[in-house]
Amino acid sequence: MLDRLMGAFMVERGLMTKNQLDQVIKVQESNRAKLGVVAVSEKLMTIAQAEQVNALQASMDMRFGDIAVEKGYLTDTQVERLLKLQGNSYMAFVQAVVDLGILPMEKIPEIEKEYETYVGATAIDMVELKTGNIDRIVPLFLHTGNVTYKGIFSMAIKALYRLVDTHVYIGKTYTVDTVREEVIGYQHFHGDVSGVLAISGKYENIKKMAIAYTKEEFIETREDALDAICELINCINGLYATEESKKEVKLELNPPDFSVAFQGIDYEGIVVMPVYISGGEIKLTVRIV
């Protein structure tokens, strides 16, 4: 997720254009990050050390990691960890940014620090962001410490990642008393915890999401698209209810429903999370009562 979050952040900051970001994503999909880029990003080596090892590779029949260990820059354990990270999507993103000449490697740690401050993260949080740990990522974007909201939003984003789009990313939540969108799918739940989870947005964005979820090439009607979204919402709430049952928290789910001509909902304290998925933006909303 951090690759898309950082990409959006860089575009917002004017560090790259939207067209350049599209190029980066295209290159990223086919690249593995070089071990030196990963080592510098993880702050295990300096840029000068990585460049020295890269230069030595031109005259030595040795792998980057072996040379770095021989020079005393890395340990065998660190090399093993870096090799696991090498296929990481964020590392491939950084590699593409550098290879396309959009930003130099020495600029990346500075931008990461700016982003860390922007989302209110810690250095440990940034490590989790790089590994893609959704349970650690979602709370960084919640403006409430309520554990129920944390649990539902985390479960929802994990489900969207697994079932819809592995490149899903999120924005900071906010609270409103009114939601006005074009279409909506929703489901009420009750028991030890009562509330509603909804997915709403422009129909075209909901349709893209429904196609990605169902793997069907054509969804022709709003009813078909929203029926798929309701199935997804039911899956999310079902997973959450199952997880909560392990803590002896009982939840019952009402049948999901939708509106193809949505006028809006008016409730006090609706928590909204912008979600960027399948090439569009939708609103993931939760209200606990």
pLDDT tens profile 74-126: 999 999 888 887 777 888 899 899 999 999 989 999 999 999 998 888 888 88
Residue 58: the pLDDT is: 66
Q: What are the pLDDT digits (tens) for 177-186?
A: 988 889 999 9
pTM over 0.85: no
DSSP at 138: G
CA distances from 59 to 39, 50, 71, 82, 251 (A): 21, 15, 15, 23, 65
CA nearest neighbour of 193 among 265, 266, 272, 253: 253
pLDDT digits (tens, 9 = 90+) for 194-248: 999 999 999 999 999 999 998 887 788 999 999 999 999 999 999 999 989 999 9
Measured between alpha carbons, how far is residue 112 from residues 25, 28, 67, 278 in Å? 18, 18, 27, 25
